Amino acid sequence: MSPSPAERAQDLRRQIDEAGKAYYERDEQLIPDAEYDVLVRELEALEQAHPELAATDSPTQRVGGKASSRFAEVRHAVPMLSLGNAFSDEEVDDFVRRIRERLRRDALLFSAEPKMDGLAISLRYENGQFVQGATRGDGSTGEDVTANLRQIKVIPAQLQGEGWPDVLEVRGEVYMARADFEAYNANARLHGGKVLANPRNGAAGSLRQLDPKISAQRKLSFYAYGLGEVSGGELPPTHSGTLAQLKAWGFPVSDLCQVVEGRDGLLAYYRDIGARRDGLAFDIDGVVYKLDDRAGQEQMGFVSRAPRWAIAHKFPAQEQTTTVEAIEIQIGRTGAATPVARLKPVAVAGVVVANATLHNADQIKRLDVRVGDTVIVRRAGDVIPEVVSIIPDRRPEGTTAWQMPTHCPVCGSEIVQEEGAAVWRCSGELSCPAQRKEAIAHFASRRAMDIDGLGGKYIETLVDAGIVRGVADLYRLTRDQLLHLKLVLDAESPQALADQIGVHLPREGSGDYLRRVLALDAADEGWRAQALAMATDFEWNTKKIATKWADNLIAAIDTSRTTTLERLLFALGIEHVGESTAKALAVWFGDLELIRHLPWPLFKRVPDIGGEVARSLGHFFEQKGNQDAIDALINIGNVRISDTHPPSARLRDGLDFAQLLVEAEIPGITRLRAEKLTATLPDAQSLLDAEPVQLTAAGLPNEVALGLNAWLETNGQGAMLVEADAQRRALLEKAPELADIVAGPLDGQTVVLTGTLAQMSRDVAKERLEALGAKVSGSVSKKTSFVVAGTEAGSKLTKATELGIDVWDEDRLVAFLARE
């Protein structure tokens, strides 16, 4: 049974009041603006059709929301009214017609301007000084937010120029630019903070902070668009002239404001701004039309809460509601695992949206998004559509909280969370197809395997054509393939290339055609002969450019087959393993075969490698795909390491079983407790076989013993500890005795290089110093032994001087290295 008009009106008022209270008083959004507008328009239509339902407290008769009691109240001398809305060309026609008929004019000029999606405020100036700022509130009474408004740099504290009235109230919009909004949210997501739903909420929430310092941290902007109370001065007779005067007095005014004529001018402006909307630096939800001459405005007057001489022409909404049909993981080029909501398709800002980002697992947890939920989806400008909130009242029964998958949907490798961050990553760096291009580009880079000539566009094409599926495939490339690769990239299109060499594109399409060109598919000898002839008939023999490039690249690939351990470790692209960590691993362990089979706790024996880096190394080498890729490099690519050596004797210090238990980060296990434990349980297997009572007998508190027992039985950690203990023993056997080490002259010293060196590069200086036992650091601290300062040395030299650290010039460094 359908509700009566009175029942429907009551229900509409309830929904509008709930949404309005959240929006205006708590800066929360229960439903999208477009849905709110639909409810209001339905209620307006009901009240017009049934006058007996009209009431003075109806939402259709109010402006904004009640002012918050947290701030002092400000009574507006001139009410801050809202605007009527137009959603179609016909409604704009009606707006113009009403003014034309009431003023009895045919020619009408309007001031047209963008409708900012922010927070309306009023700024009061007395004798040119900013004295008070207030929100709109309910139109009659707002909130005193003067202290927060003073944090917005573009709002003048003192008016410029001359001729300003004794009292001047300037009305305008505080907003958050898109770039500032995205930067704020990116930082919040990274550090687990609360993200802002949209720029409008960001502006409103910032102004309603009780502490102005918090407001100052959020970059806000302001545009002036009108006036409130004015006394003791003259103003231009037009709205456009008034905006120009406000600009002269120091207020920001939108450059998009224009004076247009009649209905056609208004609609042309609407369409022009609509076309430019996505490229603007700020959000707008429509445009505003105002009769330009002030005398005409006074003649038109007002109706209830809105002026008759102005109207807002709304754009398609940038937020809509829809339902979540699935939540899936998308793996990016660097391995970042981003949750994506698969949505019931919905039109948002003129584009059909079926997918929206959820950013990360922490964001899903904060929003509590579940499959089946009704959500608000936002799309603004070029920003990827995102889920900004759920509508709890519409959640179906039986939904469950979402959990991050444990393994990559692309390659099956483990998905791990970065320590202290909201980012999750696939650990199959070398084996994951989603990361293939990025992994190959890093592998070939100058500081890694240094394959000169293999640029990004070549990698893109080789991977897209299926010729290179992993880093080892680089070592199978031929000169003919590279010549044809250059030809493909120089062609305007696959069809143009096919026409040029006189062959027909295969039915299977351009992607397979590229594969056939690059792979020189031998299955079709006739086609292959044509493709080969192309390499000699084309420009190669005249210009020789591609031939030289191909020969040089093949030579660079061959040269890279022999490399150092630190270069190869860095080239593997292991998360958190940069050049210095790769070098430390090479120095301390000396052998790839040893490193690739070490359980993660043993990596912590290397100075400066902590738990996060050690676990990252462990996760990488635990993935079968990564191990297969290394095998392929050695067996197919014939990559050889030139500087393999036994582990460092310094590993022996602290390589006892008790220290291994500490490095494994077992809850409650300190060095002292580990020593007590290993006195009776001397190895991992005996520890694994022990009962809890034996652990307490060894001196562990009961709760620690129970925790250790649970740890050993969880996620294969007991087996990992047994393997780590075996590798620990093997390291002790392989590492020479400490007495056999010849100490370098800089052993135990930390050196910092700064400025430009003329007689050698910084890299060479670093290598020479490290060869003498020094640790070369990137920052100066009290632990720094000395600083080498070249020309144009900056803050590091200043800090070294302040700390009283010895500073060497380049001549002293060169002389020292010559003696050693």
Phi-psi region of 359 (alpha: psi -120 to 50; beta: other; left: phi over 0): left
Q: Where are the domains of the chain?
A: 5-61, 75-314, 320-394, 451-559, 649-740, 750-819
pLDDT of 539 reads 44
pLDDT of 511 reads 45
Question: What is the rounded CA–CA span in Å between residue 18 and residue 152?
Answer: 31
Residue 29 pLDDT more than 90? no
Could you report the per-residue pLDDT of 629-649, keeping only the tens digit for each?
999 999 988 999 999 999 988
Question: What is the rounded CA–CA span in Å between residue 156 and residue 125?
Answer: 10
Distances (CA, A) of 73 to 24, 120, 144, 355: 15, 16, 6, 44
The winner for highest mean pLDDT among 14-28, 375-389, 587-601 is: 587-601
Binding site, annotated residues for Zn(2+):
408, 411, 432
Q: Which residues are catalytic?
A: 115
**DSSP states of 190-238 as a string?**
HTT-PPPSSHHHHHHHHHT-SSHHHHHHS--EEEEEEEEEEESS---SB
Q: Exposure of 778 by Cβ count < 10 A (0-12 exposed, 13-18 middle, 19+ buried)?
A: exposed
Question: What is the rounded CA–CA span in Å between residue 2 and residue 74?
Answer: 44
> Residue for token digits 């900004």?
388
Identical fold for domains 5-61 and 75-314, yes or no, is no
- Asked whether the beta carbons of 373 and 390 are under 8 A apart, the reply is yes
Question: What is the rounded CA–CA span in Å between residue 455 and residue 556?
Answer: 13
pLDDT of 21 reads 64
Structure tokens at 139: 């139109």
Please, what's the largest Cα pairwise distance for the chain?
106
- Asked whether the beta carbons of 644 and 592 are under 8 A apart, the reply is yes
pLDDT of 537 reads 45
Mean pLDDT (the chain, rounded): 83
> For residue 436, how many C-alpha atoms fall within 13 Å in the half-sphere facing its CB?
24
Q: How many helices (H) and strands (E) does the chain have?
A: 33, 26
The CATH classification of domain 5-61, taken from the options 1.20.1340.10, 1.10.287.610, 3.30.460.10, 3.50.50.60: 1.10.287.610
- Asked whether the beta carbons of 570 and 578 are under 8 A apart, the reply is yes
pLDDT of 201 reads 74
pLDDT of 266 reads 96
Structure tokens at 418: 């970065």
Residue 380 banded pLDDT, cuts 50, 70, 90: low
Q: What fold is seen in the domain 750-819?
A: Rossmann fold (3.40.50)
Residue 520 pLDDT more than 60? no
Of 264, 256, 313, 268, which is closest to residue 290 (Cα–Cα)?
A: 313
- The pTM is what? 0.59
Residue 510 pLDDT more than 60? no
Between 404 and 15, the higher pLDDT residue: 404
Q: What fold is seen in the domain 75-314?
A: D-amino Acid Aminotransferase; Chain A, domain 1 (3.30.470)
Binding site, annotated residues for NAD(+):
33-37, 82-83, 113, 136, 173, 290, 314
**DSSP states of 412-461 as a string?**
-PBEEEPTTSS-EEES-TTT-GGGHHHHHHHHHSTTTT--TT--HHHHHH
Q: What are phi and psi of 92, to 5 degrees?
A: -70, -40
Binding site, annotated residues:
33-37, 82-83, 113, 136, 173, 290, 314, 408, 411, 432
User: What amino acid occupies position 429?
Assistant: E
pLDDT of 536 reads 46
Residue 257 pLDDT more than 90? yes
Pairing of strands 258-261, 109-116: antiparallel
Which CATH superfamily is 320-394 part of? Nucleic acid-binding proteins (2.40.50.140)
Distances (CA, A) of 123 to 72, 149, 225, 617: 15, 9, 12, 58
